Amino acid sequence: MAIDQLVQDHFTARAAKYNRSSHWVDDPALGAFTVETLAPKPSDVLLDIACGTGMVSKHFKGKVARIVGIDITRAMADQASAYIDEFVEGPAEALPFPDASVDLVVCRQGTQFMRDAEAVREMVRVLRPGGRVCLVHLCAYGEADKKEYFEILRLRNEARRNFYRRGDLTALLEGAGAVDVVVRDWVSVEDVDVWSDTGAITETAREGIRAVYRTASPMFAKLHAVQVGDRIVDHMLFGVAVGRKPMAR
């Protein structure tokens, strides 16, 4: 099955409970942090890539002039109408927008399912000179935890193409032509049983996730401040990376 179809099938299955599937999904503090990072102006046009149910656009509503959402999963985006002004169904790797047509681009947890270098080049292409793009993605803390963490993320979603460390987000933005790239950290405290109860994975996969936590290396357990008891708790790191499109010469 093609990756895009796997992604659509996965998120169609998750659509009904997506907004309750993780603390970070509808965390107002993370939303405010993302808005602060992009620093929108009231006149800006924002493009929300992989807009899903609109949980990122929600925090920009009323702070920008217009919000356009794009996603490949209609069942998710059907829930976003309260937060976006226009929805376009399509892939981020071929955005159906002219060059230099938006002021801000945000993509949270999207490029991990995409041909990410192509998608980020498209994000920069559609920005007006001086516009900013923000990628918000779960990241390993570093080399010491990446193997175990990437296995956890793989078990949660088999359609995932890409796994990140913070430096990978920097490389994606700079490789697409963005400048002044900065990555800020955000840590979300997640109940692993809630986080893994997506409605789109098997109980076998969920038990596999639990097993990785129960047998985690000391360094992984330390970096993620893992708590294992009646519930498993992970302190999940997000890289919030922002870059700017250079001004035209």
Q: Is position 102 within any domain?
A: yes
26-41 CB burial, b ≥16 within 10 A, e <16: bbeebbebbbebbebe
Which residue, 213, 207, 206, is CA-closest to 234?
213
pLDDT of residue 1: 44
Q: Is position 47 within any domain?
A: yes
pLDDT of residue 198: 82
Q: Is position 223 within any domain?
A: no
Q: What CATH code is carried by the domain that includes residue 120?
A: 3.40.50.150
The fraction of the chain above a pLDDT of 90, given in percent, is: 80
Region 192-201: what's the mean pLDDT? 87
What six digits make up the tokens of 238? 């997000």
Q: Rounded to two decimals, what is the model's pTM? A: 0.93
| Gap between the Cα atoms of 46 and 25, Å rounded | 19
SS3 31: helix
Predicted confidence (pLDDT) per residue in 107-134, tens digit: 999 999 999 999 999 999 999 999 999 9
CB of 245 closer than 8 Å to CB of 145: no
* Residue 195 predicted with pLDDT over 60: yes
pLDDT of residue 200: 79
Q: Is position 209 within any domain?
A: no
* Residue 49 predicted with pLDDT over 90: yes
* Residue 174 predicted with pLDDT over 70: yes
Residue 179 β-bridge partners = 244
Q: Is position 217 within any domain?
A: no
Backbone phi and psi for residue 67, each to the nearest 5 degrees, phi listed first: -125, 125
Q: Is position 196 within any domain?
A: no
Q: Is position 149 within any domain?
A: no
How much is the mean pLDDT over the chain? 92
DSSP assignment, residue 188?
Answer: E
Total structural domains within the chain: 1
Domain that holds residue 177: 3-141+159-188+237-244
Q: Is position 193 within any domain?
A: no
* Residue 33 predicted with pLDDT over 60: yes
